[in-house]
Structure 1
């Protein structure tokens, strides 16, 4: 491989072997970008893409990583590898179910080699992404996936090259769906997601695009907006629609929704950047002066 693999290294727990281990060319070349915390990693993931996120965490932080608000975004964008002295089996399995590629514990470092584990995690993530692209629709909701949403965005941007006209991208997150998946199971969650998707479709125009970004996140492309505040009004309307109670298994469920908003052309003029900005805002990261977020 000619180009170095870009690795964002969260250094909350720094084993002495880490930098030297990744300098060996046997498994490819790695460029490490170091940050001190998961909060810092969430900000950087909102700004640019990485081949991998290497989270070196103390045992208690690794065991609680599934509660990290930016985890869903991280596993979609990068191969996430957790490096930790120890992690309970149940917690490690939960992380794998959430999309983490591997949890490497201290006893495994010397046995398997960190560079090998990291390279394999990156290759598995690439295969996962290729598989997701091959299946264009989210099976639960019938909505297009992230890749199709990006195609729609870039198509509209291409049409606007000569005469740019504003449009907006919304990302709506429902963090509580992770807990409901554990309580209610896969089939019940699928039914809830279908109903949530119907609410979003009902709240926008036929020319707008609603997509499934993850099991707990949706994207909405507003193909045209007269004023920036119009997009904010739509975001608030859709948040309220998602937060209306849902009936499931004989009980009434209420979900909290967060939204992030990025405007074209003021926030960005390229689809992937626009999406990263909206996702970062939906995760509660401070938006730049050219994007907005709503709680």
Structure 2
């Protein structure tokens, strides 16, 4: 028996099915334990996945009897291991499901192995998620890297196309790290970068995203800013924090920064456009260079 209890959510399961042996998911056994709940209707799929380890989507008669809500299914696949359970389905639909992110398609003839396939699908999803997180993380700071930031931005911008509201992107270029390395070594640079990351993260809301774009470049995504002045307030707050002295081995190190701002939609509607605009503004010193001497 496995140590971790899996939370399994059935979607679209008819009331008569749980008692039938064909698609019975036992509470225990060598592949358990499981705790299961059931919801009806594919329209609820997107709201079900958060917090669930496994989503079992029941499609009697395949996609013909129950049209698949592909957008909701894709969202669920991003959050949990999704398996489709059906009595019959054509190969083309099975292939599309797997391409969308479904872990497995379980036909009625194979239902006896459902518990095993649920457990293995959850394990694959966990391994995939851990690998994806490692690939999308800047190991020096623990922050999302550029790829992960662009994914966040893509999701936010798609939402803002439907629900218009300004989005702001800040890019910070940190100056002085070469001097830190020359005077204190490479590990001192890592220490300063981690401290910059902590200060930026502490200065924004939990819904905002702080990312590392390189050794001396950081970005902050503000998914919801009511006006340009809101973004400016955040800039002022973060720059005050960044210009506070950094200590390495008990000594203050001179660090300065430039920051650039880009706003959706006027400065661009795609993640790369907004990042380029903000990066260019930072290079040009659009908001001026802030150093301890400016205090």
After TM superposition, the score normalised by the length of structure 2 is: 0.51
- Residues 146-204 of structure 1: per-residue CA shift (max 9 Å, x gap): 11111111111111222321110000111211221232222121111111111001000
- Residues 255-280 of structure 1: per-residue CA shift (max 9 Å, x gap): 11110000111111111000000000
Task: Give the structure 2 partner of residue 277 of structure 1.
Answer: 277
**Equivalent position SS for 1:204:** coil
User: Is this contact kept in 2: 1:171–1:218, CA < 8 A?
Assistant: yes
- Residues 82-118 of structure 1: per-residue CA shift (max 9 Å, x gap): xxxxxxxxxxxxxxxxxxxxxxxxxxxxxxxxxxxxx
Distance 2:281 2:169 in 1: 11
Q: Please state how far the C-alpha of 1:218 moved relative to its aligned partner.
A: 0.4
Q: Please state how far the C-alpha of 1:252 moved relative to its aligned partner.
A: 1.1
User: Is this contact kept in 2: 1:211–1:220, CA < 8 A?
Assistant: yes
Distance 1:257 1:179 in 2: 14
Task: Give the structure 2 partner of residue 152 of structure 1.
Answer: 152
Distance 1:134 1:257 in 2: 28
- Residues 38-62 of structure 1: per-residue CA shift (max 9 Å, x gap): xxxxxxxxxxxxxxxxxxxxxxxxx
Task: Give the structure 2 partner of residue 249 of structure 1.
Answer: 249
Q: Does 1:227 align with 2:227?
A: yes
Count of aligned residue pairs for this structure pair: 158
Distance 2:287 2:134 in 1: 32
User: Is this contact kept in 1: 2:180–2:253, CA < 8 A?
Assistant: no
Distance 1:213 1:133 in 2: 16
Distance 1:164 1:182 in 2: 47
Task: Give the structure 2 partner of residue 198 of structure 1.
Answer: 198
Greater relative contact order structure (CA < 8 Å, 6+ sep): 1
Distance 1:257 1:224 in 2: 24
Distance 1:249 1:164 in 2: 48
Larger Cα-atom Rg:
2
- Residues 210-268 of structure 1: per-residue CA shift (max 9 Å, x gap): 00011111000011001111101211211111110011123112311110000111111
Q: Compute the RMSD of aligned alpha carbons.
A: 1.9
Q: Does 1:178 align with 2:194?
A: no
After TM superposition, the score normalised by the length of structure 1 is: 0.51
**Equivalent position SS for 2:256:** coil
Moved over 3 A (4+): 292-295
